[in-house]
Amino acid sequence: MTEILTQAGIKNMTSALGILMAFIGVCAFVTSIVTEALKSIAIVDRLPTKLVCYIVAMVLTTPVFCAMMAYMNQPVEWFMVFASFLASFVVAKVSMNGWDDVTELAQRLILR
């Protein structure tokens, strides 16, 4: 059975999914930190936080992807860059919900 799954590329798929999840997690963390830092600027603070988060995710995700591919010594194709742009929307959603969850937990546990 293992041989059939290996021939089908399941082992490689599992590895790729792990890398993808780590990539999204790191990008979401960086996006959250940069968004919070930018919100301390008065001009940026007038914009909705979700909009700022989407913009930051779009700006950061593709360069982080290219840096990761350079670190892994892999070539970057045009469709990979496009996929990283699409992944920026997932990164933004994960980033936005992450801070909401942290705030909710803080209100429940610390600010009783």
Instruction: For 58-82, give the DSSP string.
Output: HHHHHHHHHHHHHHTT----HHHHH
Which residues of the chain carry a pLDDT beneath 50?
Answer: 1
Tell me which residue of 22, 13, 14, 9 sits closest to 71, measured CA to CA: 22
Predicted pLDDT of residue 62: 92
Number of domains in the chain: 1
Instruction: Report the alpha-carbon distance of residue 31 to residue 96 in Å, rounded.
Output: 9
Query: What's the pLDDT at 63?
Result: 93
Exposed, middle or buried, 68 (CB in 10 Å: 0-12/13-18/19+)? middle
What's the confidence (pLDDT) of residue 86?
94
Which residue matches tokens 């070539």?
Answer: 75
Give the pLDDT score at 10: 60
Give the Cα separation of 55 and 16 in Å (integer).
26
